[in-house]
């Protein structure tokens, strides 16, 4: 009977740590999504500006899209 109690007690501890790890991963994923959403437009504008500068200085007819 003690063996069964010990086995169930161990599973309870593993389940709690799995939930905590899941919350941690969800928080990190939410942070990554927020950073990409906030800074994505700025990075896109930087690359577009760089491409346009190269295109005008090289006098090429290539597109930047």
What digits encode the pLDDT tens for the residues 5-59? Answer: 766 665 555 566 888 889 999 999 999 999 999 988 888 888 888 888 888 877 6
Residue 15 lies inside a defined structural domain of this protein: yes
Residue 63 lies in a domain: no
Cβ neighbourhood burial of 55 (10 Å; 0-12, 13-18, 19+): middle
For the chain, what is the domain count? Answer: 1
* Domain annotation covers residue 38: yes
pTM: predicted TM-score of the whole model, two decimal places:
0.51
Give the Cα separation of 42 and 44 in Å (integer): 5
């Amino acid at each position: 009977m003690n063996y069964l109690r010990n086995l169930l007690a161990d599973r309870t501890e593993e389940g709690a740590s799995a939930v905590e790890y899941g919350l941690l991963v969800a928080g990190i994923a939410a942070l990554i999504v927020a950073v990409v959403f906030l800074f994505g437009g700025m990075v896109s504008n930087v690359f577009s500006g760089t491409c346009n500068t190269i295109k005008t200085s090289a006098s090429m007819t290539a597109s930047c899209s």
